[in-house]
Amino acid sequence: MKDEFDDAASSSSAQIHADGAENEAGDRPMPEEWVEIEEPRTKERMFANLATGECAWEPPKDVPVKRMRENQWWELFDSKSKRFYYYNATTMTTVWQKPSNCDIIPLAKLQLLKENTEIEFYSQSRGSKVSSETQTSPSRLRKRLEDLQLSDSRPSVSVDVLDDEGIFAQEIGPESGVITRKQPHYSHSNPSTLPSSNIYSNFDLCSQLSASPVPSVDTVRASGPQCFPSPSSSHTMPSARGRSTSSSSEQRQFPSAARPEHAHNTSFQSGTGNGDVAADSWSKDSIKHPISKNLDKSLKKDALALFKLIQSYMGDRKAKSAADKVAVSICEQALQKPELADELFAQLTKQLTENERSDSLRKGWELLAITLSFVSPKSEDAKQSLLSFVEMHSDSLLDTPEVAVSQFAQQCLKRIQRVAPTSGARPKPSTELVQESRIHIFSPPQFSATIDELMELQGDRWPDRQVPWIETTLIDMIVASGGSTTEGLFRVPADPEQLQTARLRLDRWLLPVVRDAHVPAALLKMWLRQLPTPLIPDNIYQRCLSVCDQPEECLKTMELLPASHKMVLAKLLWLLQVLAQEENVRHTKMDVSNLAMVMAPNILRCDSEDPSVIFLNTRKEMTFLKTLIMNCDCSHMHSVI
């Protein structure tokens, strides 16, 4: 074991510099863009391409297909409430909350593709300009839709009846369901070609994908999310308002998708009560009332001042301070008076809605991402509203050439979701941390990213790596800087300035120059501690404690870890086993018990706030890690990167 450590020390410097070079990515596996879906009325299986919107009864040959399972949920969009909702075609259940541990099929993308394609098709075939309230302007998608490669494997479609109104963009709203449009009758037995764009034939099948049962409005309001009866007994479904759909021409009617009851969000509702549209969209003028309806009257002046600061950062008002200082002031106000947190996010979402000024829009999304590094919504309603708003903008299909909104939205989504009771206190805002937060929007950090995210990030650089680059780099730095002979390794704190400098460089995939082993040792603990999901996940935490002094059971428990987590833990155990050797302990004064004591809190997290529970669990956590160090053979991890 000592020889292994010496060999590692002699080659660490070369290995670190070798890791710094980019490797060409190997062939990446083809993503599963095709999904199998059950048509809700006839229960027939069909296939949809989430990237192009293409639909077919049979998928193309030699392409991966995500098969339908019982735990498959459709993600659909309700434009009136500006929220996504989820429908299970098997159980016919509709819910607002995004289900977990299941397959999510983003059919909202098909809604959008179909919606905008129909607008353009109608505009071309009728020679007139169509006005429609859709999720995004069709002109933004025109270039993308022209480039779509449509498959010839789709079923033949014949149009028997096209009424005088032709084909028009559907309206998506609470009263009408997902799709409200007149459907042309089609037949599989009499193949023919559509009169114009073959794009429409592709999306005609999407009508079926977006269709699912809908109860009356009264039923929805009374019972909220629930299971709805199958519509198979009826060919024509009543509209959401309870009136039958009739037409002189024969039409095939598909039911609209059921949405859950719209939960009114009091946190993000305007306090003015005047129903003015401008209250919910971008405004160049100052507000006269807080956005949040339930905000304490004593905070009215603070809320109005906060809005002016937001305008200053976004460039909609002349700023008296630098942008970084303005961002710090905004975050400090929301932290000093937590009741303002919900108002802050309400004001930000207002200024990001229907904002046609590119610079203002970009800075607004930047500010939202920055504030989420320091501030969280106070109420659950405000959090859900913010989540819905961010999710709605996280699809790159909606991006304009001027602003990559989806990139900002995806980072915001991650920052919202990473807030957990066990994640520790958030840092206090400062100009340096604001600058760092801004950089991480487009350059994700090594610290505070999940292990799976890190593996994905480094996939293009080093496709053959089995553990995150940050872990192997820090271990190599500990070895190269003489960690085996450094007294108090992992116990003695590192120099704060060196620590911060090294961390910033590592976040940018750059190697810091380090001569003190305490710096990489402290960074290794920090990286483990800041993982959004603990190295030992919460679902097996109690099992670890219950078998902490049983070697065989501890090893079995380690096998329950996700593959990526298990590799990270094995690499860490290899380092701790080397440092726990007697010849190294003489220098470091850190035996196996001391190493287990300083490292256990970084890989196991107790979610209790009871001091007695924390104390008891701490001892068991130490015992569990000590048992692994002494009994888990990780010698093979010496050469694993």
**Do residues 17 and 43 both lie within one domain?**
no
According to the per-residue pLDDT averaged within each range, which of 20-24, 244-248, 416-420, 494-498 is highest?
494-498
Residue type, 188: H
Q: Of 223, 255, 286, which closes a domain?
A: 223
**Do residues 305 and 412 both lie within one domain?**
yes
Residue 198's pLDDT is what? 36
Query: Is the pTM above the cut of 0.85?
Result: no
Least confident residue range of 263-272, 407-416, 448-457, 584-593:
263-272
**Do residues 42 and 190 both lie within one domain?**
yes
358 neighbors 318 (Cβ within 8 angstroms): no
Rounded to whole angstroms, the Cα distance separating 562 from 535 reads: 9
pLDDT bin (cut points 50, 70, 90) of residue 90 is confident
333 neighbors 319 (Cβ within 8 angstroms): no
Residue 371's pLDDT is what? 95
**Full domain range(s) for residue 288:** 266-426
**H or E stretch covering 105:** strand 103-105
Q: Which residue has the higher pLDDT, 37 or 345?
A: 345
Least confident residue range of 82-86, 179-183, 426-430, 524-528:
179-183
Whether 347 is in a domain gets the answer yes
Read off the pLDDT of residues 320-377 as tens digits, 9 standing for 90 and up. Answer: 899 999 999 999 999 999 989 999 999 999 999 999 999 999 999 999 999 999 999 9
Would you say the C-alpha torsion 498, 504, 507, 510 has a positive or negative sign? negative
Mean pLDDT estimate for the chain: 73
Q: CA nearest 390: which of 450, 349, 425, 334?
A: 349
Residue 352's pLDDT is what? 94
Q: CA nearest 624: which of 594, 602, 604?
A: 604
Read off the pLDDT of residues 276-329 as tens digits, 9 standing for 90 and up. Answer: 435 578 999 999 999 888 888 899 999 999 999 999 999 999 988 999 999 999
For the record, the structure tokens of 13 come out as: 């410097």
3-class DSSP string for 458-522: CCCCCCCCCCCHHHHHHHHHHHHCCHHHCCCCCCCCCCHHHHHHHHHHHHCCCCCCCCCCHHHHH
For the record, the structure tokens of 387 come out as: 């989540």
Q: CA nearest 132: which of 78, 165, 95, 169?
A: 169
Rounded to whole angstroms, the Cα distance separating 462 from 455 reads: 9
pLDDT bin (cut points 50, 70, 90) of residue 532 is confident
**Do residues 47 and 187 both lie within one domain?**
yes
CATH number at residue 575: 1.10.555.10
Residue 114's pLDDT is what? 53
Residue type, 163: D
CA 262 to chain centre: 23
Question: Could you tell me where the DSSP H helices lie in 40-88?
Answer: none
Q: What is the CA radius of gyration of the chain?
A: 29
574 neighbors 586 (Cβ within 8 angstroms): no
Mean pLDDT value across residues 423-436: 78
CA dihedral 528, 533, 534, 539 (to 10 degrees): -170
Residue 589 has pLDDT above 70, yes or no: yes
Q: CA nearest 109: which of 54, 164, 46, 58?
A: 54
Read off the pLDDT of residues 387-406 as tens digits, 9 standing for 90 and up. Answer: 999 998 988 887 888 898 99
Least confident residue range of 23-27, 159-163, 599-603:
159-163
Whether 438 is in a domain gets the answer no
Residue 53's pLDDT is what? 63
Cross-strand pairs, 103: 72
**Do residues 82 and 200 both lie within one domain?**
yes
What percent of the chain is predicted at pLDDT more than 90? 36
Question: How many angstroms separate the Cα of 611 from the Cα of each of 424, 543, 608, 615, 623?
Answer: 16, 20, 8, 6, 19
Whether 17 is in a domain gets the answer yes
Whether 238 is in a domain gets the answer no
527 neighbors 447 (Cβ within 8 angstroms): yes
Whether 361 is in a domain gets the answer yes
Residue 229 has pLDDT above 70, yes or no: no
Q: Which residue has the higher pLDDT, 629 or 439?
A: 629
Whether 247 is in a domain gets the answer no
Write phi, then psi, for 86 (nearest 5 degrees).
-135, 135
Tokens 């095709």 -> residue: 34
According to the per-residue pLDDT averaged within each range, which of 10-19, 41-50, 306-315 is highest?
306-315
CA dihedral 148, 154, 158, 164 (to 10 degrees): -30
Rounded to whole angstroms, the Cα distance separating 202 from 468 reads: 42
Rounded to whole angstroms, the Cα distance separating 569 from 30 reads: 30
Read off the pLDDT of residues 494-531 as tens digits, 9 standing for 90 and up. Answer: 999 999 899 988 988 889 988 899 999 999 999 999 89
Rounded to whole angstroms, the Cα distance separating 291 from 271 reads: 6
Q: How many CB atoms lie within 10 A of CB 247?
A: 11
For the record, the structure tokens of 315 come out as: 């460039």
Read off the pLDDT of residues 102-127 as tens digits, 9 standing for 90 and up. Answer: 878 777 666 665 555 544 444 444 44
pLDDT bin (cut points 50, 70, 90) of residue 533 is confident
**Do residues 544 and 592 both lie within one domain?**
yes
Would you say the C-alpha torsion 495, 497, 500, 505 has a positive or negative sign? negative
Residue 217's pLDDT is what? 36
Residue 591's pLDDT is what? 94
Mean pLDDT value across residues 592-613: 91
CATH number at residue 401: 1.25.40.530
Burial of 586 (0-12, 13-18, 19+ CB in 10 A): exposed
122 neighbors 144 (Cβ within 8 angstroms): no
**Do residues 516 and 631 both lie within one domain?**
yes
Residue 43's pLDDT is what? 66
**Do residues 49 and 9 both lie within one domain?**
no
Burial of 338 (0-12, 13-18, 19+ CB in 10 A): exposed
Cross-strand pairs, 173: 177
Read off the pLDDT of residues 238-281 as tens digits, 9 standing for 90 and up. Answer: 333 333 333 333 333 333 344 444 333 444 554 444 444 355 78
**Do residues 122 and 210 both lie within one domain?**
yes
Least confident residue range of 215-229, 423-437, 531-545:
215-229
Query: Which residues lie below 8 Å from residue 384, measured CB to CB, with a gap of 6+?
Result: 96, 263, 265
Query: Which residues lie below 8 Å from residue 66, measured CB to CB, with a gap of 6+?
Result: 32, 34, 35, 36, 103, 105
Residue 58 has pLDDT above 70, yes or no: yes
**Do residues 549 and 618 both lie within one domain?**
yes
- β-strands 103-105, 72-78 pairing: parallel
Residue 315's pLDDT is what? 94
For the record, the structure tokens of 151 come out as: 């498959």
Whether 229 is in a domain gets the answer no
Q: CA nearest 278: which of 350, 174, 207, 344?
A: 350
Residue type, 592: V
Question: How many angstroms separate the Cα of 317 from the Cα of each of 285, 309, 351?
Answer: 9, 8, 13
What percent of the chain is predicted at pLDDT more than 70? 65
Whether 252 is in a domain gets the answer no
Residue 268's pLDDT is what? 55
Give the angle 366-20-517 at the CA atoms, nearest 5°. Answer: 95
Question: How many angstroms separate the Cα of 242 from the Cα of each of 176, 217, 218, 237, 542?
Answer: 10, 8, 10, 9, 52
Residue 447 has pLDDT above 80, yes or no: yes
Write phi, then psi, for 55 (nearest 5 degrees).
-125, 145
**Do residues 577 and 508 both lie within one domain?**
yes
Domain count along the chain: 3
Residue 219 has pLDDT above 50, yes or no: no
Read off the pLDDT of residues 472-481 as tens digits, 9 standing for 90 and up. Answer: 999 999 999 9
pLDDT bin (cut points 50, 70, 90) of residue 139 is very low
Rounded to whole angstroms, the Cα distance separating 204 from 157 reads: 9
165 neighbors 125 (Cβ within 8 angstroms): no
**Do residues 42 and 167 both lie within one domain?**
yes
pLDDT bin (cut points 50, 70, 90) of residue 39 is low
Least confident residue range of 50-54, 363-367, 602-606:
50-54
